[in-house]
Amino acid sequence: MVTDVDLSVRIGSLELAYPTLMGSGCYGSGEEFAPFIDLSKIGGVVLKSVTRAPRLGNPTPRLVQTPAGMLNAIGLQNPGIDWYLEHDVAKFASRPCAVIGSVAGFSVDDYAYVAERLAARDEIHALELNISCPNVAAEGETFACDPRLTARVVKTVRATTDKTLIVKLSPNVTDIAGIAREAESAGADALAVINTVRGMAIDVNAWKPRLGNVTGGLSGPAIRPVAVLAVYEVARAVRIPIVGQGGIETASDALEFLLAGASAISIGTGNFTDPRIPVRIVEELHAYLAARGVRSLREIVGKANVGFANPYQYEGDEG
């Protein structure tokens, strides 16, 4: 039994006090959840994705509860980068945790334009490239579904900033490891695995799709096994850290991702079940590691993944 367990992790050059990020699009800018949770007890918040032009988002309904999860089709509602920089970003300075900007787009040029401006702001500590949104017509997800486009967009954005660049991958592909390799060679510092799984629900009385957008993205415990496998496969293909996500609600869920090869985890839909989940996970991870005499969370990364190379070994860390 040890008591001084180190839960801090490093993603690129971003130091996180805790291994827990809050998923993009699920957590506002953190402020919305501040009445219910101490934000200094989470690793960081990934902000809602922002695009070059303002977007009103998809028609309603945008949410459907489904077994062990939910479908969403928000459609990247956001004020556009100009408004965002002028009115919103300054407020993020007061967050007692890491603040990660999320960039979405419809062309390589869009991504570079938004990423460069966002990364230039001190309030933003790192960037996540959302190349995998399933809820916008055609172009949104095609980046993460095409290895060459992935490589191009990551390379172009990489050239605009030195801040930590996390690339968020889609599970809606045949070879996620191949895409991951492209993102790594193009200069990604880390990978977020996975975004939502495409899905749909139908109202059998109205004979109509339940979502205004017809299709949506599935999240929550329903996708956890899909996400754990994706992390497992990506971890074997790259040496950069992975932020595992998809249905994490407990420390045990988080451990599955860590043992599969994720260096950190992200919680989205779990916050809708109970806003205290992220803090509970940290407490339980601490107890789990302490009970096993493990001094650092970094030591267990990938332990269930035979042949996996722990990214922290390449940085000269223990583990």
Partner 1 sequence: MRALQSPASVHDVLVLDRTELAPGVVLLGFHAPQLAAVTQPGQFVMAVPPGGERAAVALGIYEAQGDRASVMFFVCGPRTREFAGLREGDRFSVSGPLGNGFTLDGAKNVAIVAGGVGIASVLLPAQALVRSHVRTRLFYGARTAELLVDRERFEREGCEVICATDDGSFGHRGFITQALAATEDKPDLILACGPSPMLRATAFVAGELGVAAQLSLEETFACGVGGCWGCVVPLDRNSAQAPGFPGQDEGGSEVVYARICKEGPVFWAHELRW
Q: Find out whether 15 and 237 touch, Cβ atoms under 8 Å.
A: no
By CB under 6 A, name the one of 164, 172, 213, 245 that touches ligand FMN: 245
Q: Which is nearer to partner 1, 10 or 48 (CB)?
A: 48
Q: Find out whether 19 and 43 touch, Cβ atoms under 8 Å.
A: yes
The dihedral sign for the CA sequence 10, 16, 20, 25: negative
Q: Find out whether 230 and 194 touch, Cβ atoms under 8 Å.
A: yes
Q: Find out whether 75 and 57 touch, Cβ atoms under 8 Å.
A: yes
Q: What, of partner 1, ligand FMN, none, does residue 247 touch, CB below 5 to 8 Å by kind?
A: ligand FMN
Q: Which residues bind partner 1 (CB under 8 A)?
A: 25-28, 32-33, 35-37, 48, 54-57, 59-65, 68, 70, 72, 74, 77, 79-80, 83, 87-88, 220-221, 249, 269, 271-276
Quick one: tokens of 17? Answer: 């006090």
Tell me the closest approach of the beta carbon of residue 165 to partner 1, in angstroms: 24
Phi (first) and psi of residue 218, to 5 degrees: -90, 135
Q: What, of ligand FMN, partner 1, none, does residue 24 touch, CB below 5 to 8 Å by kind?
A: ligand FMN
User: Angle CA(290)–CA(12)–CA(186) in degrees, nearest 5?
Assistant: 135
Tell me the closest approach of the beta carbon of residue 3 to ligand FMN, in angstroms: 30
Residue 249 β-bridge partners = none
What positions carry a catalytic annotation? Answer: 133
Per CB under 6 A, does 168 bind ligand FMN? yes
Of 47, 59, 26, 139, nearest to 99 by C-alpha is 47
Return the range that interacts with ligand FMN (CB under 6 A); candidates 29-37, 90-98, 261-269, 290-298. Answer: 261-269
Residues of the shown chain interacting with ligand FMN in the complex, contacts defined by CB under 6 A: 23-26, 48-49, 72, 74, 76, 102, 130, 133, 168, 195-196, 219-220, 223, 245-248, 267-270
